[in-house]
Amino acid sequence: MKSEKIRMLSTVCMVLLGIFAEAAAFAGVPNIAALIYKYDDTYVSTVRNALSKAFDGKANLTMKDGEGQQAIQNDQLDVVIEKKMDGIIVNMVDAQAAGGVVEKIKAAGIPVVFFNREPDLNVLKGYDKAVFVGTNVVEAGKLQGDIIKSLWDANPNFDLNKDGQFQYVMFKGEPDNPEAIARTEFSVKQAEANGVKMAQIGETFVCNWDTAQAETAMESALASNEGKIELVIANNDAMALGAIAALSGIGYNVEGGSKFIPVIGVDATNPAVDAIGKGIMSGTVKLDGEAMGEAIAAIMLNMTAGKAPLDGTQYTYDDSGIAVRIPYSPYVK
């Protein structure tokens, strides 16, 4: 009985020592809250994972899922401000609502890094503890246009009706999202600047970055235009994969199959990279989620330590003086 009590006391002591050791390890490190627009966004999930890794042992990181609803994110912001966080990271649900978000954070005097979904930078400039980490919104579309040029030159058989034009369908993220607008516009403009004649089939499908919505839209496009579509351009990989799912349903873009329509996305998510490796997707544009997470963490740690945001980092601001841009790169087989 006595030995059993000793073993129990030993176990309790070990648990307590573990708790105290963990507390000691995190003593003095900043408390950071990250408000994420939607956890089930594939690309943003790579950034979340990168943030967790980059802050490990350097900060107490709390993440919140906005579930794609600005009202939920607003409530989460109120909570983290109430908890007097040392720093806040914001991936806006609705970039146009950033004014109210900045106002609340500024009133609390908390450093903030916005990322990915770009607010009006003039709104951020009203607060000297605000930084944006994102991309050049035009670059992804231009790189898609370059991929289109390469596909057109290397595969004359893609011109099904031999009219010298690339007949395409377009999948757009959100109606008013700056990245969606730029990718939709500049993918085509860049292809045309490269000498490829482009002809759109039907309307632009607004599918909110969503795989299921894109699959449904592609099924609709195929119902009336099968045999006429020569190219699919999507603002992100999730929608590109939705289009491929619809194509595979009627025997196209199946691994080892003979019927194929080139599909291009953006993000270089793992499922898209896998699809490109299998030869059922033609290309994507890599947005490095790990690099973005590392940049956000480095900047936030500087700010919570009272340093200049870019102090001791390799990052530079663009012409705005407030935004750091993570470069894209093409990804093809």
Q: Is the pLDDT of residue 9 over 60?
A: no
pLDDT at 42: 87
Does residue 237 lie in a domain region? yes
Task: Tell whether 49 and 182 lie within a shared domain.
Answer: no
Task: Kindly report, residue by residue over 114-138, the tens digit of the pLDDT.
Answer: 999 999 999 999 999 999 999 999 9
Tell me if 284 sits within 8 A of 273, measured CB to CB: yes
Task: Tell whether 46 and 149 lie within a shared domain.
Answer: no
* Residues 6 or more apart whose Cβ sits within 8 Å of residue 331: 268, 273, 276, 283, 284, 285, 286
Q: Is the pLDDT of residue 23 over 70?
A: no
Task: Tell whether 275 and 167 lie within a shared domain.
Answer: yes
pLDDT at 325: 97
Task: Kindly report, residue by residue over 59-114, the tens digit of the pLDDT.
Answer: 999 999 999 999 999 999 999 999 999 999 999 999 999 999 999 999 999 999 99
Cα separation, 297 vs 203, whole angstroms: 40
Cα separation, 141 vs 146, whole angstroms: 9
pLDDT at 143: 98
Q: Is the pLDDT of residue 210 over 90?
A: yes
Structure tokens, 244: 């491929």
What percent of the chain lies above the pLDDT cut of 70? 92
Task: Kindly report, residue by residue over 250-266, the tens digit of the pLDDT.
Answer: 999 999 999 999 999 99
pLDDT band at 4 (very low <50, low <70, confident <90, very high): low
Would the CA dihedral through 312, 314, 318, 323 be positive or negative? negative
Cα separation, 114 vs 134, whole angstroms: 8
Cα separation, 158 vs 186, whole angstroms: 21
Tell me if 87 sits within 8 A of 300, measured CB to CB: yes
Max CA distance (Å), the chain: 91
Domain containing 42: what range? 29-134+289-332
81, 292, 240, 164: CA torsion to nearest 10? 130
Mean pLDDT over 243-247 rounds to 98
- Residue 296: which CATH number? 3.40.50.2300
Does residue 46 lie in a domain region? yes
Q: How many domains does the chain contain in total? A: 2
Task: Tell whether 96 and 123 lie within a shared domain.
Answer: yes
Arithmetic mean of pLDDT over the chain:
93
DSSP three-state, residue 276: helix
Q: Is the pLDDT of residue 16 over 70?
A: no
Whole-angstrom distance between the N-terminal and C-terminal Cα of the chain? 68
Does residue 41 lie in a domain region? yes
- Of 96, 83, 225, 224, the closest CA to residue 167 belongs to 225
pLDDT band at 3 (very low <50, low <70, confident <90, very high): low
Beta-strand (E) ranges in the chain? Answer: 31-36, 60-65, 87-90, 112-115, 130-134, 166-172, 198-200, 205-206, 231-234, 263-264, 283-287, 323-325, 328-332
User: Which DSSP letter does residue 228 get?
Assistant: T
Mean pLDDT over 167-186 rounds to 96
* Residues 6 or more apart whose Cβ sits within 8 Å of residue 256: none
Cα separation, 333 vs 325, whole angstroms: 26
Q: Is the pLDDT of residue 6 over 80?
A: no
Task: Kindly report, residue by residue over 294-320, the tens digit of the pLDDT.
Answer: 999 999 999 999 999 999 999 999 999
Task: Kindly report, residue by residue over 282-291, the tens digit of the pLDDT.
Answer: 999 998 999 9
Task: Tell whether 268 and 156 lie within a shared domain.
Answer: yes
Task: Tell whether 239 and 170 lie within a shared domain.
Answer: yes
Beta-strand (E) ranges in 208-255? Answer: 231-234
pLDDT band at 10 (very low <50, low <70, confident <90, very high): low
Does residue 281 lie in a domain region? yes
Does residue 7 lie in a domain region? no
pLDDT band at 322 (very low <50, low <70, confident <90, very high): very high
Does residue 221 lie in a domain region? yes
Cα separation, 282 vs 130, whole angstroms: 38
Helix, strand, coil abundance in the chain, percent, nearest 5 = 50, 15, 35
